[in-house]
Amino acid sequence: MNQGSIGIRRWLKSFMLKRVHGMITCKEFEDFVLRYCDNELTDRQRSLFERHISICRECREYLVAYQRTMEVSRAVFLSSDDPVPDDVPEDLIKAILKAREE
Ligand SMILES: [Zn+2]
């Protein structure tokens, strides 16, 4: 699959999601993720969020990756003595450390 067809699929999905009443888009989903993980969504926002996950595989994977990233960054932030898991990409560690500096 080339980049172009991925772009079209993304566009089509966001187009379809916008047409469904009460459905959040992938962009809105990204905005919700942080608050979802912090338990700060209202009941209505949470149900929209969970409905989106149930139909959108990309966002489901995004959420899993996000939660994994948060776990890793907690380990990096809180305790530099704990070894970082081997399967964590070097780039991710660098990004977390960079974020900590800012
Ligand atoms: Zn999505």
Expressed in angstroms and rounded, the spacing between residue 100 Cα and the centre of ligand 1 is 28
- Which pLDDT tens digit goes with each residue over 12-71? 667 666 655 567 888 888 888 888 888 899 999 999 899 888 988 888 888 888 888 888
The pLDDT of residue 4: 67
Q: Count CB atoms within 10 A of the CB of residue 24.
A: 20
Identity (one letter) of the amino acid at 80?
Answer: S
Expressed in angstroms and rounded, the spacing between residue 93 Cα and the centre of ligand 1 is 25
Expressed in angstroms and rounded, the spacing between residue 74 Cα and the centre of ligand 1 is 25
Task: Report every protein residue that has its C-beta within 5 angstroms of ion ligand 1.
Answer: 26, 29, 56, 59
The pLDDT of residue 38: 85
Expressed in angstroms and rounded, the spacing between residue 30 Cα and the centre of ligand 1 is 8
Expressed in angstroms and rounded, the spacing between residue 82 Cα and the centre of ligand 1 is 34
Q: What is the value of pTM for the model shown?
A: 0.56
Alpha carbon separation from 69 to 15, 34, 62, 96 (Å, rounded): 29, 12, 10, 9
Closest of 63, 69, 55, 48 to residue 16, by C-alpha: 55
